[in-house]
Structure 1
Amino acid sequence: MALPISKLTALKILGLVIGCAGKFTTGSLFVFSVYQDAIKDTFNYTQKEVELLSSMLNIGLGVGFLPGMFYDHFGPQWASAVGLFISVSAYMLIWSSTKSVQFYSGNSWLMAIYFFVCGLGSIFTYMVALNTNIINFDKKHTGKIVGLLNAFFAGSPSVFAAMYYHLFTHGDPTDTSNQDFPGFMLLFAISFGVVDILCILFLKVRKDDSPAFVNFENDISSKNNIVTSSNSGGSHEVFCFARRNGRQSIIGDINGDNSTQNYMIADNIAERSMSLKEILLNVDYQILTWLIAFASVIGLVYANNTTVISGSLHLDQYNDRLTIIIPITNAIVSALVGVISDHFKDKFPRMWILIFGSICFTVSQILVFFFAETLGLLVVSAIFVGFGVAILWSMAPTIMKEMFYIGNLGRNWGIALLIAALIGFGIQESYGAIYDAEIGPEGDGVHCYGMKCIRGGTAICIGSGSLSIVLGIVMQLKKKLCK
């Protein structure tokens, strides 16, 4: 029985509020840079080992196709329950690691597994918060919904960073011996526990009137979607109605005696489920996925190494401010870009906005490569990264939802996250290896100083951003040629 529309709307809004809380909590993954020095000094890890922890955290997040497929099959409540168990357990293990410092100092691989599990647990919550609200609200609001959710996801690191520097750091914020990072991990465990319980209780797919659950066979019988013809001679007729640019394409097979009518959707990939093999062989999906991957790693690497960059250039006294620039910029732009893209999507395709995000990423890394020693330009580079992250994580899920079947959104988006995580792993490990290789006699064997420490890794990021721009332009040219 359908709920009254007012009650249904209220439940959807409640789900959106809880989804925002879920996205806010999962955004805590990107505050790694504020406590990485504490981990490094506590366990005497090399920069490459620290980069491994960050990479594994992101790979856990990137194994999103598994939670995505789980979500697609079992729904938000079971996905939230699994996320609750995994996240709380993982953060409690990291909290307990400081009780055995000597053991974990020689077993960074085990700590890396803990961070991997943290990322895996977080992606369950992320999928529940994102997918459920995308499904529940009409497609004309998709940009706004994704943008709002991403604003909470984006603003989260700035709040958690401020909490860390003001509540978990005693005295000099650059003195890692006075930082309570175990208590910070305990805070994460509690946060995920609370938000996942709320998701279990209140975040459900409200499919009574959801456009995601429209019976598409009804669309086929619509006079706007079918072109018919009669043949008194009883011959077999095939009718084709093709509309480009993602609209419906239907083939009708009608027998002359009108005894049977069989219709099929021919090429409207946005309105039909696709097998794993089929989606992986789809050219548009491949271009979009690799564009997302090459662009996203810049935000990941830069955010996770903000304090590494500032420390290398003796600007670490500004860490408490540098670490909140990206989240704040990200939150503001996310809230705006969703509204703007929904309003102008017919005049200005979302893909061009996504390409602009890739340009922002690339410009930011060029500024770091040449001018990171200048505090003002380092701030500007962080602002550009914030723009890029906001645009990417607001536009990419929206475009994915509009281009491909929403019932496979968890799997499709999850595969994109996995590819991004694997590329990010390679670049982060390279970043750490280059950093360690540049440690000179002026260092202490652990920390590197000077532009030489960061230029190699930054150059790789410039190349990654450039590839994402090229892929975006290829996608647009392909669409133009297919008109």
Structure 2
Amino acid sequence: MMNSSKSRQLRKYFSLGAGILGWFLGGVVFGFNVYAISLKQTFNYTQTELDYIASSGDWGECFQFPAGIVIDKFGPKVTCSISLIVTTMGFLLMWMATAFRIFFSSKSWLVCAFYFLTGFGPTFLVIPSMVVNCKNFDKKHLGKVLSLLSGTFGVSPAIIIVLYEGLFVQGHFEDAENQKLGEFMMMLAVLSACISVFCVVMLKTVPEDTPYDVIEQSGEAMNKTNDIHKNKNMEIHKNINDRTALVPEKTTKQIPKDMNCWQIIKTPQFYYVFLICLIIMGICISVVNNLTIIVESAQIDVNQITFTLIIPIFAVISRLFVGVLPDYIFQKWPFIPKSSILLFSCILTCISQMIFIVFNGSLIGLICASVMVALAYGVLFVHISIITINLFGLQYCGQNCGLVFLSNGFGLVLFQKLFALNYETNSPPGSHSCFGDLCTKWFFVLTSSLSFCAVFLNFCLMKIERDLHLQHDESQASSHQK
């Protein structure tokens, strides 16, 4: 029995290690900025064409719903095998493009398709890694597991940047077209193949003797039985004129019903979560992607690398530690609405956008607002998965989380377009650059208003959750009386 328990623990940690590697591969696409100039000069692309390539990778990363369907229907082995094929093929096609520069210099749409595969393929590792490890560990450790995986996801671009600058730039800073971009893509192809194979072999759901939810449900059933016997004994001694209702002092904890993606779209909770994620993540991503442009338009004489480093540093810090807080809150105060943890990201985003409006020309103001955006994005990235699992159950969490994260892609497109519209409207005729407060001011006025709407939606979601909890308590009380 002892050996069996140790074997299960060992398999759990091997699966966690595979999950960490899977999420590391998922974050590789966000290291695009380090080789963006090399890609642009290698193929002589315009800035618009380069932006399309970058957005295609981001969209591939956001399109996690198919991976969720596959993991829920066929398991981790099949899902990771798809990642092995798609991701490796994507990086090999990118390498092939660098070998035929002249042909692909006029075919940027093909490079967009190739780069989409490099973002889409790792989702078939990211989603199964999340699902398997959330099922392998007790539900009370859900936040810690997601924080560890998400933190790895955030560290990945920084490691890729260091590798590229250390091994493949080779001193060609001014002539970026001579950097070893092709060799770098080949290295990523080999790396993705190795990680995918490791996940195919090691990523497995490890069954427990008594799953966590079964313990809760069996405990609830035992409480009901004990309460029934207690009530019967009390009824024997009950005075005939006593009209006091026999209701237990504490009601049992509500366990979420497992719902698939077709069932959750019929619930109002899904649309509240979807809209909150769309607004907050869309705002944060648009600010992150355009941070150097915001600094440039503010005409602040500062090294822009300072701002590009702020986002990953604080995003990783928030992702690594933020999962511990929900675990503590949900165990200490189980009747607090689970969706209340989203308030932190919503309120922080709202404050950051107002700082961008008022202190747009101040270095300290821009740094404070950027830090808040990084923290809000990193926290929401973890909390949105926790909320989805707590509201809709763990059994179909792959497809449910994938469906919710589609909002990330829609938000990216929407707010990127809004930012570009505000920026280009205030640019001088014939110029692609804009300087002054008006370049970004009305965009931040809009985002601050929408983030305030997200706070309101969050309170509505909390009220719905609270009402359902009260209904559950009333039904439990009535069943005890019977």
Structure of larger gyration radius: 2
Q: Residues 172 and 378 from structure 1, CA distance in 2 versus in 1: closer, same or farther, beyond 3 angstroms?
A: farther
Contact 1:141 1:342 in 2 (8 A): yes
> What's the offset of the Cα at 1:303?
2.9
> Which residue of structure 2 aligns with residue 469 of structure 1?
455
- Inter-CA distance 82–460: structure 2 relative to 1 (3 Å threshold): farther
User: What amino acid is the match of 1:476?
Assistant: M
Q: Which residue of 273, 276, 301 maps to 1:288?
A: 273
User: Partner of 1:137 in structure 2?
Assistant: 137
CA–CA separation in structure 1 for the residues paired with 2:382 and 2:305: 26
The reply on whether 1:427 has 2:415 as its aligned counterpart is yes
Q: Deviations over 1:374-396 (max 9, x none)?
A: 44433333321221122111111
| Correspondence for 1:333 | 318
* Runs of 5+ consecutive residues of structure 2 not aligned to the other structure: 232-246, 471-482
| SS at 1:407 equivalent | coil
Q: How does 1:245-256 map to 2 (within 5 A)?
A: 247-248=253-254
Scaled by the length of structure 1, the TM-score of the pair is 0.81
Match of 1:233 in 2: none
In structure 2, the partner of 1:31 is 31
Q: Which deviates the most, 456-465 or 110-119? A: 456-465
- Provide, for residues 65-124 of structure 1, a one-character-per-residue CA deviation record: whole Å limited to 9, x for no partner: 111010011111111110111111112222332334444343332222222222210211
* RMSD over aligned Cα atoms: 3.6
Q: Distance in 2 between matches of 1:68 and 1:76?
A: 10
SS in 1 for 2:311: helix
Gap change, CA 1:316 and 1:77, over 3 Å in 2 = farther
> Are 1:387 and 2:372 counterparts?
no
> Structure 1 126/461 Cα, relative in aligned 2: closer, same or farther at 3 Å?
farther
Q: Which residue of 1 aligns with 2:475?
A: none
Alignment match, 1:415: 403
Contact 2:134 2:142 in 1 (8 A): yes
Q: CA deviation at 1:176?
A: 4.2
Q: Could you list the runs of 5+ residues in structure 1 that have no partner in the other structure?
A: 231-240, 249-267
Deviations 1:194-214 (A, max 9, x none): 211111111101123473784
Distance 1:244 1:187 in 2: 59
The CA deviation string for residues 421-471 of structure 1, in whole angstroms up to 9 with x for no partner, is 12312322443455556554795x5x6666555556555544543332222
Deviation of 1:58 (Å): 2.4
CA 1:307/1:276 → structure 2, altered by over 3 Å: closer, same or farther?
same
> Partner residue of 2:69?
69
Counterpart of 1:262 in structure 2 is none
**1:88–1:14 Cα change, 3 Å:** same
The answer to which of 131-140 and 11-20 deviates more is 11-20
Deviations 1:6-62 (Å, cap 9, x if unpaired)? 111121112112211211221122223333344344444444433332332222222
Superposition pairs of residues 29-108 of structure 1, within 5 angstroms: 29-108=29-108
> Aligned partners of 1:430, 1:213: CA distance in 2, in Å?
45
May I ask how many residue pairs the two structures share in their alignment?
451
CA distance in 2, matches of 1:381, 1:438: 22
Question: Which structure shows the bigger proportion of residues in helix conformation?
Answer: 2
**1:307-337: CA deviation from partner (whole Å, max 9, x where unpaired):** 4445556779734443232222122222221
- Greater mean alpha carbon deviation, residues 89-98 or residues 127-136: 89-98
How far apart, in 1, do the equivalents of 2:164 and 2:219 lie?
Answer: 53
* Structure 1 residues 18 and 276: CA distance shift in structure 2, 3 A: closer
2:303 to 314, 318, 322: 318
